[in-house]
Structure 1
Amino acid sequence: MNGPVVVGVDGSPSALAAVGAAAQEASLRGVELRVVHAFLWPAMHAPPGSSPLGPFTGALHEMVERIVADAVEGARSQAAGLHVTHAVIAGEASTVLQAQSRRAQLVVVGHRGSGGFAELLVGSTAVHLSAHAHCPVMVARGRPNPAGPVLVAVDGSPRGQPAIAFAFSEAALRGTDLIALHAWSTWTDHGEHALGRPAEVVDLVGDVDRLQQEEERELAEALSGQREQYPGVTLRPRLVRGRTRPALIEASVDAQLMVVGARGHGGFTGLLLGSVSQAALHHAHCPVTVVRSGP
């Protein structure tokens, strides 16, 4: 796909961090970076077609121009020779960026915008796009280790394959290792059976060695196709006995990027984001890319 990398900006420090991450991604891919600012009038009670603030001029116009200009300058300073375009589009940020994602290969946003509630760990735009965008969504957060690996969560489900493919591609682009983390557990570990597995698979005593071998085989099978496609990527499979969410969060401390699927095994079918992707967006120590398995 030759579409651009799109980054949403609103003048917040989080958005400026997103610009840096997006510039790197566009440069690695050799594609255009499109800086997008979604403009929404502060007052919403005007008749259709008019604005109580008058024409889009004056101080408001200057503020928006400054937000976009700072983002464009920041992007070009991150990657020399990068082709950067920009647009100011009327509408709510999540709606505008979701529309932009139709022709993009990646959308990048900050984990928090200039609005919202201070106690929220992740802004509504980041969560909405992760669940609804038409391409992968990167949420810039944490303190990535520039020399660290790409980290991908593997659960063995078919819907997780696009995330694995994206992670291999990212590791190849960045010239770094790929850690493929698969967590497993038994009833005796947590008082409940492993997610996505029928209760009869593991009894209260359990053949833990046999189960671990099955999990190792599942991890190898999930990686086999992409492993052949990216022979230059150093793959480091990691099988962890424990819960997926804390294992991923801990592993993200040394990573430069985490990749997760939108939904995997278990959970409620009506949810567009699973508990693992939600936890990653809220608590990861590095940027997180959420890759949906389909429309």
Structure 2
Amino acid sequence: MNADITVGLDGTPESLAAADWAAREARARGAKLRLLHAWVLLEAEGAPGDSRTGIPEEDRNHWAKKTVTDAEHLLAEAYPGLPLSTELVAADPESALLDAARECALLVLGSQGLGRTASYLLGAVALRVVARSAAPAVLVRAEPAGGSASVPQAGPADASAPSPGPGAGDLSARPDDLSGPGDPDRPGGKDPTGRSTPAVLVGVSPYEPAAAEVLDFAFATADRHSAPVHAVHVRQLPVPIYAQGDPAVAPALVEKALNGSREQLRTVLAPWRDRYPRVPVRETVRPGSAARILVGESAGARLLVVGRGRHPARLRPRLGHVVQAVAHHAPCPLAVVPHD
């Protein structure tokens, strides 16, 4: 594995938004960006033309080449000096992206979420790739036409509107961040202009050793972009509390359970606070649905980071229900970090 970043391109607004995000991240890392397009019918260079139509060989791959060259030109203009390479692969996109993930440090893909039925079908390849990717994978969505998609709410603290992402062809130079201007009501520090800096939101399970790989990705990203980290743990309340009926009638039991989780989260985060002293950290422990709370908290975040377990070869890779939910509904870019 090298330190390069690979972005999958298919000519959609989502893939262009992903390319723009990947370019900013490559610039922050000092990494090279590879633009990859896979088409199973791609012709090898020098293949004879189609004698039935008279189309010369150089035109048969026209749209595949245009997909990568158009993105390359836009990125070269917006990010002068960024090392870029392009690659056309004669393979199905899923196989090509999984092969690329074994060779790079980060894989970036466009995502349409669940705004409509078609978007679920179009996003199926991205979800399968994320479930099997050897490298951390980031899903980036473009700003939907007509405004932002609706976001399931997780309570009053989650009511801020999602910040729009870049749309197709909109690759003009921006501040070196991951999503856009800060929201003064969200956790974070201040940038030089006094604006609140959007946080890197990370879902943490203090009970899993694998949290270390997820936290490493979140804190390293925040450190590179001078951003804060917002660590969220969603606590499943003990059965005895539910046995009392409505948990609201047992506030002392609920608070006792949450206090224990807060202490565990604080302990898990301590080494990362020491390792990244410049990164401000906010800790949140809440009871309820992990998927709903993470989606709500992601409104206004610059990046949401979650983990997924690597699967033995004999098992069919799949994403857990929480990762599935945030992949479909979180308005900000989503990083899915594989761990053992």
TM-score (norm 2): 0.72
CA 51–279 in structure 1, closer or farther in 2 if over 3 Å, else same: farther
1:159 has 2:205 as partner: no
CA 228–270 in structure 1, closer or farther in 2 if over 3 Å, else same: farther
Matches within 5 A, 1:1-295: 2-41=2-41, 57-112=57-112, 118-120=118-120, 123-141=123-141, 143=164, 145-146=179-180, 147=182, 148-156=198-206, 157-186=208-237, 207-263=253-309, 272-294=318-340
1:3 is displaced (CA, Å) by 2.0
Q: Distance in 1 between matches of 2:242 and 2:50?
A: 59
Structure 2 spans left out of the alignment, 5+ residues: 143-163, 166-178, 183-197
Cα RMSD over matched residues?
A: 3.0
- Which segment is superposed worse, 97-106 or 183-192? 183-192
1:73 is displaced (CA, Å) by 1.5
Percent identity (aligned): 29
Deviation digits for residues 53-90 of structure 1 (CA, Å, limit 9, x no counterpart):
67992543111111010111222233221000011011
Q: Distance in 2 between matches of 1:211 and 1:270?
A: 35
Structure 2 letter corresponding to 1:228: D
Structure 1 letter corresponding to 2:220: S
Q: Distance in 2 between matches of 1:122 and 1:249?
A: 21
Deviation digits for residues 161-196 of structure 1 (CA, Å, limit 9, x no counterpart):
21111000110111111100111132579959xxxx
TM-score (norm 1): 0.82
Q: Distance in 2 between matches of 1:188 and 1:259?
A: 29
Structure 1 letter corresponding to 2:104: A
Structure 2 letter corresponding to 1:19: A
Structure 1 spans left out of the alignment, 5+ residues: 43-49, 193-201
The 3-state SS of whatever aligns with 1:261 is: strand
1:209 is displaced (CA, Å) by 2.8
Q: Distance in 2 between matches of 1:90 and 1:270?
A: 25
CA 225–63 in structure 1, closer or farther in 2 if over 3 Å, else same: same
Aligned length: 270
Structure 1 letter corresponding to 2:200: V
Structure 2 letter corresponding to 1:181: V
Does structure 2 retain, via aligned residues, the 8 Å contact 1:122–1:281?
no
Does structure 1 retain, via aligned residues, the 8 Å contact 2:241–2:254?
no
